[in-house]
């Protein structure tokens, strides 16, 4: 070997070099092929072991499309896409809304779409229509389990079907079966509601997205993967939120921009001349027909479904109706809706009592971004609004609850300054363990003997509403609880019911510019109820069913609203109450000149709400369920126990074709920060084995070349 | 007599191979050895030390101890899930609950080093977490799932005490990269009540 040192190597060296480079390329090519195939092989092995719940093969998906669980391993599918058209017709205090959801299947396989969407919490959903091309199929109201069965049968037989179920008073699910490749199915949902009147402003709200909810509790055992929509949410069901997976639709976090476009149109017939009209969070176009009639559309034509829409209008001051009565005759019954505006509090100078105010602020992850700014500003306003002689404290909660002072402090500059600094330092992150915060806020052990009020600032993004309501009810005593709904997509059901159980009131803040106006209105309100001890006297010898059963105290600017069912309309209705120590009375004749369609469903919706309250208070489930089902079936209403289902007659999907289910994604609400609610995962693999394998192969190659040399050498020798 | 180039090339290639191979071995060895080096810092943490750095230039510190009896696993977890800390130990993802605390605590590690064992865990297996206050909580594995991290949100905004052990998937893939994750979800066996902390400003 040594004898060859220093001898000529020009041409042969070059050839050798080329050969080794070539073999290196061949080896890396072979390795590359192995790498491409190995993951596939290993995945197949995993499937056989049944340890894998979802089968995915990366690389075939263009960005923005949605991974889909399919029967055929290794295949992707895109979920149906959605466009929504909203049409609201306002007439006086009544609103009829039609929501048209258009589901399009962009793929080439048959699909089932599952869409979780919000509606106003007091919406009486009474109509479902499915449109396939020119054909229209009317939905029928059925007991929930029965509706599910009808839907499942149609789905398996290849017929088109739509099923609308209620998960919460303000969260619904629409399932649409057998959308063919390239096909579009329109589903129309209609509901009735009343306007919100506060001070002299009418407010109409339309929620567009179900915000990610915090789900407390211990996950319950995960069963088999289910094909039905019960596990499509991003969280497991827990002992505290048994339907968590049904209220947590997948969230679109990709860089592809906002999805689910919405168009919106409001035909407004106010019934009185309108002096001002504004949209709180969207730009609008107005088309004026007369002093009291106009049509409102979105200026952007389409907006992403990522925040509530709100329209606010105001009549001339002199024109504000003091009372309004709407009635509808159905069968042998008359249904009434009555609105009475109590007299303005300004007329009677009330003595302002000193208060103990507990401010509770939600600093969980969902409050990150613009919400926490709004909440901090609102708290800042609230603290500066406190009067000499008041006591106050601040409680914040996320995964844990903590409070500024161990007990309420008097309004003195040192405490106020400390509080203002504390508010400035508040940051949002972590969970939303609201129960501990409510317990802390409603703890009466250091009672100061003052009027005690809790002002609760939150977006209400939790899934355990009922448990929280019962905490409020049990611990309220003489405290009054006021909710301030923060952010772009607050949970209206929580805000309203918590305030109702808290015997207080609620307001919403959706942008920083609203803070001062809304907070000052709230504080004017919470000085003291304007009317209390309200009672209604109906004409003698008439059987009346009225909701709410017991009338709440009214705060400044709030109207009294009630619905009733009675066999005949005659004589007068008299409402009595106390107004700053003095008796107050109002009476009006039970007569209306025209029929208002939809009053009966509003009454039925109120009664269902009342029955559900009784269930929370411990009434038997069987009794309540039967009551709700009977009522809902009679009035064609969606409830927790009844659903609307529309089924096509003829099958369209050939039985040989398979059907895959996919939950539609929803937007993250405007202003939210995704990393506060969802984790972004780090890269968790190294190239160590690749390095070792490559290294090993290269060593092998090197050895082979050397051996080759040795053989040649021997031959040559 | 003219084939010497084969020898030179062979030796060169073998050397490159050896360095690559040793790099791979180094990654594995670092992952193994670091766990022993972290012991001292962890013991000091348990004695009441705060953010004890395992070596002077470290930007991380031991946070908790993870044990999986069924797999004979006993590891120290570092704070933060950056590439530099994951080379030494599983890392706790900042922004999620601290291991052993209320909320979801997300711990990730490389699938070819510390979390290679995840492929063998089963539903019902126990996981023990010892935190820096020397409190140990026991968790039970309730699910294993594969998710596409770029498509499916991983919720941290949910649930009482639970941990997610996350690593890249598939386990046998030779190269790093890809957005699939293997997620082992475990919940605490006895969910304790939490009291209100008050007083701090």
In a domain, A63, yes or no: no
Which three-class secondary structure state does DSSP give residue A443? coil
Which of A46, A73, A667, A682 to mutate: most B Cβ within 10 Å?
A682
In a domain, A221, yes or no: yes
| Residues of chain B contacting residue A430, judged by C-beta atoms under 8 Å apart | 97, 103
In a domain, B199, yes or no: no
Residue B159's pLDDT is what?
Answer: 55
Q: How does pLDDT run across A629-673, given as a tens digit for each residue?
A: 999 999 999 999 999 999 999 999 998 899 988 889 899 999 998
Which of A426, A679, A700, A717 to mutate: most B Cβ within 10 Å?
A679
Residue that the structure tokens 């920060």 belong to: A673
Residue A200's pLDDT is what?
Answer: 85
Distance to chain A for B4, nearest Cα, Å: 7
In a domain, B22, yes or no: yes
In a domain, B200, yes or no: no
Asked if B7 and A236 come within 8 Å (Cβ–Cβ), the reply is no
Asked if A217 and B160 come within 8 Å (Cβ–Cβ), the reply is yes
Distance to chain A for B190, nearest Cα, Å: 10
> With b meaning 16 or more CB within 10 Å and e meaning fewer, what string describes A260-292?
bbbbbebbbebbbebeebebbebebeeeeeeee
Distance to chain B for A494, nearest Cα, Å: 18
| Residues of chain A contacting residue B171, judged by C-beta atoms under 8 Å apart | 42
Asked if B178 and A4 come within 8 Å (Cβ–Cβ), the reply is no
Residue A1's pLDDT is what?
Answer: 39
Q: How does pLDDT run across B111-125, given as a tens digit for each residue?
A: 888 999 998 999 889
Q: How does pLDDT run across A226-251, given as a tens digit for each residue?
A: 333 334 566 777 788 888 888 988 88
Asked if B199 and A700 come within 8 Å (Cβ–Cβ), the reply is no
Q: In this structure, are A621 and A707 located in the same domain? A: no
| Nearest CB neighbour to B155, from listed A235, A422, A708 | A235
| Nearest CB neighbour to B153, from listed A250, A400, A685 | A250
Q: In this structure, are A469 and A495 located in the same domain? A: yes
In a domain, A75, yes or no: no
By C-alpha distance, the chain B residue nearest A248 is B155
| Residues of chain A contacting residue B103, judged by C-beta atoms under 8 Å apart | 399, 430-431
Q: Which domain holds residue A125?
A: 81-316+638-667
Distance to chain A for B49, nearest Cα, Å: 24
Q: In this structure, are A508 and A548 located in the same domain? A: no
Residue A3's pLDDT is what?
Answer: 38
- The span from the CA of B161 to the CA of A675, in Å, is 20
Asked if A678 and B154 come within 8 Å (Cβ–Cβ), the reply is yes
Residue A49's pLDDT is what?
Answer: 30
Asked if A235 and B86 come within 8 Å (Cβ–Cβ), the reply is no
Structure tokens at A384: 């500066």
Task: Please say if the pLDDT value at position B196 is more than 80.
Answer: no
- The span from the CA of B89 to the CA of B86, in Å, is 5
By C-alpha distance, the chain B residue nearest A255 is B150
| Nearest CB neighbour to B168, from listed A679, A685, A716 | A685
In a domain, A608, yes or no: yes
- Confidence label for B54 from pLDDT (cuts 50, 70 and 90): confident
Residue B101's pLDDT is what?
Answer: 82
Structure tokens at A68: 């889909």
Q: In this structure, are A358 and A296 located in the same domain? A: no
Question: What average pLDDT does range B51-63 have in this prediction?
Answer: 83
CA distances from A312 to A87, A268, A274, A710 (A): 16, 11, 10, 92
Asked if A20 and B197 come within 8 Å (Cβ–Cβ), the reply is no
Structure tokens at A407: 């007990």
In a domain, B60, yes or no: yes
In a domain, A391, yes or no: yes
Distance to chain A for B58, nearest Cα, Å: 19
Q: In this structure, are A284 and A155 located in the same domain? A: yes
Domain containing residue B42: CATH number: 2.40.260.10
Domain containing residue A460: CATH number: 3.40.50.410
Q: In this structure, are A213 and A238 located in the same domain? A: yes
Asked if B108 and A681 come within 8 Å (Cβ–Cβ), the reply is yes
Structure tokens at A376: 């901090």
By C-alpha distance, the chain B residue nearest A439 is B196
| Residues of chain B contacting residue A702, judged by C-beta atoms under 8 Å apart | 9-17
Q: In this structure, are A103 and A218 located in the same domain? A: yes
In a domain, B65, yes or no: yes
Asked if B2 and A215 come within 8 Å (Cβ–Cβ), the reply is no
Is residue A596 within 8 A of residue A632, CB to CB? The reply is no
Which of B101, B122, B174, B197 to mutate: most A Cβ within 10 Å?
B174
CA distances from A207 to A40, A279, A443, A500, B158 (A): 44, 14, 34, 20, 23
In a domain, B53, yes or no: yes
Q: In this structure, are A398 and A499 located in the same domain? A: yes
- The span from the CA of A410 to the CA of A450, in Å, is 12
Is residue A394 within 8 A of residue A404, CB to CB? The reply is yes
In a domain, A242, yes or no: yes
| Residues of chain B contacting residue A688, judged by C-beta atoms under 8 Å apart | 23-25, 27-28, 112-113
Work out the percent of chain B whose per-residue pLDDT is above 90. 19
By C-alpha distance, the chain B residue nearest A214 is B158
| Residues of chain A contacting residue B152, judged by C-beta atoms under 8 Å apart | 67, 234, 250
| Nearest CB neighbour to A42, from listed B97, B170, B199 | B170
Q: What are the DSSP calls for B157-176, one per residue?
A: S--SSEEEEEEES-TT-SS-
A-to-B residue pairs, Cβ atoms closer than 8 angstroms: 328
By C-alpha distance, the chain A residue nearest B118 is A51
Q: What are the DSSP calls for A654-714, one per residue?
A: -TTS-EEEEEPPEEPPTT--HHHHEE-PPP---SHHHHHHHHHHHHHHHHHHHHHHHHHHH
Q: Which residues of chain A have pLDDT under 70?
A: 1-77, 219, 221-234, 254-256, 345-351, 680, 712-717
Q: In this structure, are A515 and A538 located in the same domain? A: no
Distance to chain A for B81, nearest Cα, Å: 7
- The span from the CA of B130 to the CA of B68, in Å, is 12
Q: How many domains does chain B have?
A: 1
* Backbone φ, ψ for residue A288 (5° rounding): -90, 125
Q: How many domains does chain A have?
A: 4
In a domain, B201, yes or no: no
Q: In this structure, are A396 and A462 located in the same domain? A: yes
Question: What average pLDDT does range B38-49 have in this prediction?
Answer: 87
In this prediction the ipTM stands at 0.79
In a domain, B71, yes or no: yes
In a domain, A210, yes or no: yes
| Nearest CB neighbour to B21, from listed A16, A691, A713 | A691
Q: What are the DSSP calls for A314-359, one per residue?
A: EE-GGG--SEEEEEEEETTEEEEEEEEPPPPGGGS-PPPPPEEEEE
Q: Which domain holds residue B107?
A: 4-188
Q: In this structure, are A495 and A404 located in the same domain? A: yes
Domain boundary residue, one of A499, A526, A553: A526
For residue A458, what are the β-bridge partners?
A485
Handedness of CA A180, A182, A183, A188 (dihedral sign): positive
- Confidence label for B193 from pLDDT (cuts 50, 70 and 90): very low
In a domain, A349, yes or no: no
Q: In this structure, are A309 and A450 located in the same domain? A: no
Count of CB atoms situated within 10 Å of the CB of B200: 8
* DSSP count for chain A of H helices, then E strands: 12, 36
Domain containing residue A576: CATH number: 2.60.40
Is residue A83 within 8 A of residue A630, CB to CB? The reply is no
């Amino acid at each position: 070997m040594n004898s060859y040192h220093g001898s000529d190597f020009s041409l042969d060296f070059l050839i050798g070099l080329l050969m080794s480079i070539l073999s290196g390329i061949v080896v890396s090519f072979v390795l590359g092929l192995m790498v491409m195939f190995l993951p596939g092989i290993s995945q197949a092995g995993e499937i056989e072991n049944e340890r894998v719940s979802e089968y995915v093969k990366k690389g075939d998906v263009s960005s923005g499309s949605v991974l889909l669980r399919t029967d055929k391993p290794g295949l992707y599918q895109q979920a149906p896409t959605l466009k929504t058209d909203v049409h609201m017709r306002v007439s006086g205090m009544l609103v009829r809304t039609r929501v048209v959801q258009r589901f399009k299947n962009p793929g080439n396989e048959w699909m089932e779409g599952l869409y979780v969407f919000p509606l106003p919490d007091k919406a009486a959903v009474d109509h479902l229509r499915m449109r396939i091309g020119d054909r229209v199929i009317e939905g029928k109201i059925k007991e929930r389990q029965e509706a599910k069965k009808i839907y499942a049968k149609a789905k398996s037989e290849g017929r088109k079907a739509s099923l609308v179920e209620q998960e919460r008073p303000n969260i619904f699910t629409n399932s649409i079966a057998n959308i063919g490749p390239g096909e579009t199915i329109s589903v129309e949902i209609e509901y009735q509601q009343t306007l919100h009147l506060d001070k002299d402003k009418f407010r109409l709200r339309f929620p567009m997205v179900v915000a990610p909810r915090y789900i407390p509790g211990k996950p319950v055992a995960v069963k088999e993967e289910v094909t039905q929509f019960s596990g499509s949410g991003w969280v497991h069901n827990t002992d505290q939120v048994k339907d968590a997976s049904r209220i947590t639709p997948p969230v679109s976090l990709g860089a592809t921009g906002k999805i689910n476009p919405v168009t919106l149109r409001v035909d407004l017939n106010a019934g009185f001349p309108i002096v001002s009209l504004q949209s709180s969070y969207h730009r609008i176009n107005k088309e004026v027909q007369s002093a009291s009639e106009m049509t409102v559309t979105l200026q952007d034509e389409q907006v992403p479904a990522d925040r509530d829409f709100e329209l606010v209008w105001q009549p001339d001051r002199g024109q504000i109706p003091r009372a309004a009565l709407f009635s509808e005759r159905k069968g042998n019954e008359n249904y009434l809706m009555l609105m009475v505006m109590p007299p303005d509090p300004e007329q009677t100078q009330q003595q302002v009592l000193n208060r103990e105010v507990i401010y509770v602020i939600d600093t969980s992850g969902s409050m990150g971004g613009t919400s926490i700014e709004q909440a901090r500003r609102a708290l800042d306003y609230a603290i500066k609004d406190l009067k000499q002689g008041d006591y106050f404290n601040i409680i914040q909660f996320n995964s844990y609850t903590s409070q500024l002072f161990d007990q309420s402090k008097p309004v003195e500059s040192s405490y106020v300054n400390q509080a203002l600094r504390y508010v400035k330092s508040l940051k949002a992150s972590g969970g939303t363990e609201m129960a501990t915060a409510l317990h802390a806020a409603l703890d009466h052990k250091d009672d100061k003997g003052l009027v005690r009020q809790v002002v609760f600032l939150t977006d209400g993004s939790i899934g355990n509403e009922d448990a929280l309501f019962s905490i409020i009810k049990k611990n309220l005593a003489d405290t009054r609880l006021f909710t301030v709904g923060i952010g772009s997509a607050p949970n209206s059901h929580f805000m309203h019911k918590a305030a109702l159980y808290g015997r207080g009131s609620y307001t919403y803040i959706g942008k920083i510019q609203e803070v001062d106006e809304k907070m000052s209105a709230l504080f004017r309100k919470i000085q003291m109820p304007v009317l209390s001890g309200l009672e209604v006297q109906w004409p003698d010898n008439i059987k009346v069913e009225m909701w709410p059963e017991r009338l709440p105290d009214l705060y400044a600017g709030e109207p009294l609203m009630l619905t009733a069912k009675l066999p005949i309309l005659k004589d007068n209705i008299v409402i009595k109450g106390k107004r700053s120590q003095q008796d107050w009375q109002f009476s009006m004749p039970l007569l209306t000149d025209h029929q208002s369609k939809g009053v009966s469903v509003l009454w039925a919706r109120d009664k269902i709400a009342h029955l559900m309250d009784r269930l929370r208070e411990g009434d038997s489930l069987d009794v309540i369920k039967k009551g709700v089902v009977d009522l809902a079936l009679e009035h064609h209403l969606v409830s927790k126990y009844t659903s609307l289902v529309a089924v096509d007659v003829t099958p369209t999907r050939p039985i040989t074709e398979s059907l895959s289910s996919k939950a539609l994604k929803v937007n993250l609400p405007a202003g939210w920060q995704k990393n506060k609610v969802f984790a972004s995962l780090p890269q968790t693999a190294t190239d160590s084995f690749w390095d070792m394998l490559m290294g090993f192969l290269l060593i092998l190659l090197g050895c082979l070349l050397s051996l080759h040399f040795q053989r040649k050498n021997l031959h040559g020798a | 007599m003219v084939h010497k180039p084969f020898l030179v090339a062979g030796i060169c290639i073998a050397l490159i191979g050896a360095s690559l191979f040793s790099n791979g071995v180094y990654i594995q060895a670092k992952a193994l050895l670091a766990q022993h080096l972290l012991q001292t810092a962890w013991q000091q943490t348990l004695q009441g030390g705060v953010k004890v750095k395992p070596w002077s230039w470290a930007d991380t510190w031991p946070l908790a101890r993870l044990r999986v009896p069924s797999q004979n696993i006993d590891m120290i977890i570092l704070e933060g899930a950056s590439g530099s800390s994951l080379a030494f130990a599983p890392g706790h993802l900042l922004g999620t609950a601290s291991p052993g605390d209320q909320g979801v605590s997300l711990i990730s590690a490389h699938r070819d080093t510390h979390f290679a064992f995840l492929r063998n865990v089963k539903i019902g297996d126990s996981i023990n977490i010892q935190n820096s206050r020397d409190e140990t909580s026991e968790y039970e594995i309730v699910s294993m799932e594969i998710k596409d991290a770029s498509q499916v949100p991983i919720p941290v905004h949910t649930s009482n005490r639970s941990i997610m052990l996350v690593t890249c998937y598939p386990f046998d893939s030779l190269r790093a990269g890809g957005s699939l994750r293997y997620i082992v979800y475990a919940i605490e066996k006895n969910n304790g009540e939490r009291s209100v902390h008050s007083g701090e400003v």
